[in-house]
Amino acid sequence: MFKLKHFKPLNRNTVALLAIFGAGVVTMGAQTGSQSVPAAQPASTQAQPAAAVTVPAIDTSSDSLFSSSAAGDDASPVTEASVHPTVVNFAEMQYGGGQRRRYGRTRYRGSNTNSDGSSKWIFFGGAGLVQPLGNTWHYLTPSYGIQVGGGRQFNYHFAVPIQFDYDHFGFTGQVLANQSVLYFGDPNPADNGLDGSSHIWSFSIDPTYTFLNAGDKHDGMGAYIVGGAGFYHKVANFTVPQEEEYCDPYYGCEDYEINGTFDHYFSNAPGFSGGIGVTYKFSRFSNERFYAEARYVVMLNSQRQGYTVANEYTTTYNGYDFYPANSNRTTYVPIKVGIRF
């Protein structure tokens, strides 16, 4: 490093070039591990680490670098007071002062996120099989069902969605034979084409608690329990073939046959459900989970009077209900599979 004691007045360009050249020499010496020490530096000063670069902070203002033309040879010399070493420790900048940086799962807080990072809203949809149980099994046959829902999630474990279910059933052969006797006096429904089906649709609130592998960091299998309560609407439709006529202005009229509704019943009642489900998540970086669940459902129907084959000639009922079984208490198990997100 150059140590200038006195210098004669030079033009501004020359002095600026000398200052820049001096700073470059000091920087290159520090980067290559040079052991040279500035003459104005005290002897007790220790050598900087290899990753530290000493950069002189040079005041480039015209008052400090250049003297007026009237000063002449009395210009102030460049001393240690005008050159202050600045230490830049690249190792500390890169590694945080020698401490290793720790990385964890990023937590995002927003209007749609809970404090633990879970979403405030969940949605799901699925379909599957429904199986009648108990006394209902004597009237209805297994068929299909669908469900959709969504609602508030309070954390990774607990959610309270609102759910819609549609569960479809067929009638047993004995029910159709009994109804054929009541309607047509013929125990063989094939003679008159009598057929029919039943279904239940419902709206319910279903608190859900996930007790196994609930967070986003978990993949693979999970499990939850669910319970629900809501409004259930049960319908029974009996149909027979009916001829209809369709007329087209260009091709004329044509007769065709459809299964038209012959008799219809419905029943409204509260219902409750409870069950267990399992989930499967392919990756911890995805939000979707496949699920499969089974529930026990009971619909608290109110029994009504009506005509049956057993009491056709003994009842004192004078109404028009030829299928009072629609108002029987209904129990069944829906098994649904789908996706949650």
305: CATH: 2.40.160.20
Residue 193 lies in a domain: yes
Residue 105 lies in a domain: no
Same domain for 68 and 148? no
Same domain for 23 and 152? no
Question: What's the CA gap between 266 and 208, in Å, rounded?
Answer: 30
Q: Is 206:227 a contact under the CB 8 Å cutoff?
A: yes
| Total count of domains within the chain | 2
Same domain for 257 and 193? yes
Same domain for 314 and 166? yes
Question: What's the CA gap between 139 and 312, in Å, rounded?
Answer: 18
Q: Is 185:232 a contact under the CB 8 Å cutoff?
A: no
Same domain for 181 and 324? yes
Same domain for 250 and 126? yes
Same domain for 214 and 287? yes
Residue 261 lies in a domain: yes
Q: Is 104:121 a contact under the CB 8 Å cutoff?
A: no
Model confidence pLDDT, tens digit, residues 79-105: 554 545 555 554 555 545 555 555 555
Relative to beta strand 195-205, strand 83-89 is unpaired
pLDDT per residue, tens digit, the chain (341 aa), is 444 444 455 555 555 666 666 665 555 555 544 444 444 444 444 444 444 444 455 454 444 444 444 444 444 555 554 545 555 554 555 545 555 555 555 554 557 889 888 899 999 999 999 999 999 999 999 999 999 999 999 999 999 999 999 999 999 999 999 999 999 999 999 999 999 999 999 999 999 999 998 777 777 899 999 999 999 999 999 999 988 778 878 887 888 788 899 999 999 999 999 999 999 988 877 788 999 999 999 999 998 999 998 887 677 788 889 999 999 999 999 999 999 98
What is the DSSP track for 250-269?
TTEEEEEEEEEEEEEEEEEE
User: Which residues, 6 or more positions from 127, have their beta carbon under 8 angstroms from its beta carbon?
Assistant: 144, 145, 146, 147, 336, 337, 338
> Residue 341 is encoded by which pair of tokens?
């997100």
Question: What's the CA gap between 123 and 288, in Å, rounded?
Answer: 10
User: Which residues, 6 or more positions from 35, have their beta carbon under 8 angstroms from its beta carbon?
Assistant: 47
- Look at residue 71 in the predicted model and tell me its pLDDT: 43
Burial of 201: CB neighbours in 10 Å, binned 0-12, 13-18, 19+? middle
- Look at residue 66 in the predicted model and tell me its pLDDT: 42
- Look at residue 328 in the predicted model and tell me its pLDDT: 94
Same domain for 274 and 171? yes
Question: What's the CA gap between 48 and 88, in Å, rounded?
Answer: 10
Same domain for 168 and 257? yes
Question: What's the CA gap between 291 and 166, in Å, rounded?
Answer: 18
Q: Please list the residues that pair with 289 across neighbouring strands.
A: 340
Same domain for 334 and 258? yes
Question: What's the CA gap between 174 and 163, in Å, rounded?
Answer: 33
Q: Please list the residues that pair with 150 across neighbouring strands.
A: 123, 162
Range of the domain at 55: 12-95
Same domain for 208 and 328? yes
Question: What's the CA gap between 187 and 201, in Å, rounded?
Answer: 31
Secondary structure (3-state) at 3: coil
Secondary structure (3-state) at 79: coil
Give the count of beta carbons closer than 10 Å to the beta carbon of residue 327: 21
